[in-house]
């Protein structure tokens, strides 16, 4: 994808993609608003004078209105993008491709990035891969971690699926963990556990805590 970039490039102070131009535009916009606030009393006085001097023009049913909406404090400083493809690199400089419906700074200049409907591919050993998605996620630039929340779906390339409500993946170590209940479905049957650990370099998933397995003879 020609437009795909490392997620850090969108939010770092240097190389901020087109968003830096937006901030410059916002600064100009703020300056214009300040000027308009100074000019509005004069404009209002002129308009009022016109109404007093030529009241008979009321026969012309045209309305002149000035509507200036000031942004909330800090609103302009937070960067926002929609329907964005991006990638996150791990410690081996391996590319992990993602997309999200919305990408937002949690606060101006924050290193914690909120992702709406994130979905991505994590390559694993021997050509295998994991597809992960959820309604909500947070990428921590400082820690290089991705935390998925709410309904987290994991699909493994061999056909196994897993569901949980919280999943944390560390791109520095290649380890993913969930400490919330997990349900999984694979070629041998179904499984439920209190959590799971994912070791990407070893292509290994360990289900933790109390685990219940139901073997389906009809699947093999």
More confident residue, 13 or 174: 174
Average pLDDT, the chain: 77
With cut-offs at 50, 70 and 90, classify the pLDDT of residue 152: very high
Q: How far is CA 152 from CA 7, 59, 175, in A?
A: 21, 63, 16
More confident residue, 141 or 219: 141
Question: Within 10 Å of residue 192's Cβ, how many Cβ atoms?
Answer: 16
Q: What is the model's pLDDT at position 41?
A: 57
Q: How far is CA 94 from CA 6, 97, 156, 157, in A?
A: 12, 10, 18, 18
DSSP 3-state helix, strand, coil percentages of the chain (rounded to 5)? 25, 40, 35
Give CA–CA dist 91/82, Å, rounded: 27
Q: How far is CA 76 from CA 23, 49, 70, 132, 202, in A?
A: 7, 36, 10, 31, 44
Q: What is the model's pLDDT at position 39?
A: 53
Q: What is the model's pLDDT at position 46?
A: 46
Q: What tokens were used for 110?
A: 């924050």
How large is the average pLDDT for residues 165-175? 96
pTM greater than the 0.75 cutoff: no
Return all residues near 38 (Cβ < 8 A) that are at least 6 apart.
Answer: none
Q: How do beta strands 80-89 and 5-6 pair? A: parallel
With cut-offs at 50, 70 and 90, classify the pLDDT of residue 185: very high
How large is the average pLDDT for residues 30-45? 52
Per-residue pLDDT at 161 exceeds 90 = yes
Give CA–CA dist 219/151, Å, rounded: 26
Q: What is the model's pLDDT at position 96?
A: 92
Per-residue pLDDT at 75 exceeds 60 = no
More confident residue, 149 or 63: 149
Q: Which domains does the chain have, with CATH numbers?
A: 8-77 (no CATH), 80-219 (2.60.450.10)
Give CA–CA dist 120/68, Å, rounded: 41
The values of phi and psi at residue 99, to 5°, are -145, 160
With cut-offs at 50, 70 and 90, classify the pLDDT of residue 208: very high
Distance from first CA to last CA of the chain, Å, rounded? Answer: 39
**Token pair 């830096």 in the structure block, residue:** 20
In terms of residues, how long is the chain? 220
More confident residue, 23 or 139: 139
Q: How do beta strands 195-199 and 95-105 pair? A: unpaired
Q: What is the pLDDT of residues 94-148, one digit of tens each?
A: 899 999 999 998 888 788 999 999 999 999 888 899 999 999 999 999 999 999 9
Q: What is the model's pLDDT at position 148?
A: 97
């Amino acid at each position: 994808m020609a437009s795909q970039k490392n997620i850090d490039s969108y939010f770092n102070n240097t190389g901020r993609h087109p968003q830096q131009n937006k901030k410059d535009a916002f600064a100009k916009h703020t300056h214009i608003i300040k000027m308009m606030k100074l000019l509005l009393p004069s404009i209002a006085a002129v308009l009022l004078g016109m109404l007093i001097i030529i009241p008979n023009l009321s026969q012309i049913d045209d309305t002149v209105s000035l509507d200036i909406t000031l942004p909330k404090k800090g609103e302009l400083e937070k960067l926002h993008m929609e329907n964005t493809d991006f990638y996150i690199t791990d410690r081996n400089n391996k590319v992990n491709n993602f997309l999200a419906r919305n990408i937002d700074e949690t606060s101006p200049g924050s290193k914690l990035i909120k992702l709406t409907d994130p979905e991505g591919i994590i390559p694993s050993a021997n050509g295998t891969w994991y597809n992960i998605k959820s309604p909500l996620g947070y990428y921590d630039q400082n820690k290089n971690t991705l935390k998925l929340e709410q309904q987290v779906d994991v699909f493994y390339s061999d056909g196994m699926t897993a569901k949980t409500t919280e999943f944390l993946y560390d791109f520095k170590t290649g380890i993913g963990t969930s400490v919330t209940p997990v349900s999984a479905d694979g070629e041998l049957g179904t499984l439920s556990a209190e959590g799971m650990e994912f070791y990407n370099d070893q292509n290994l998933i360990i289900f933790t805590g109390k685990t219940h397995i139901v073997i389906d003879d009809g699947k093999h």
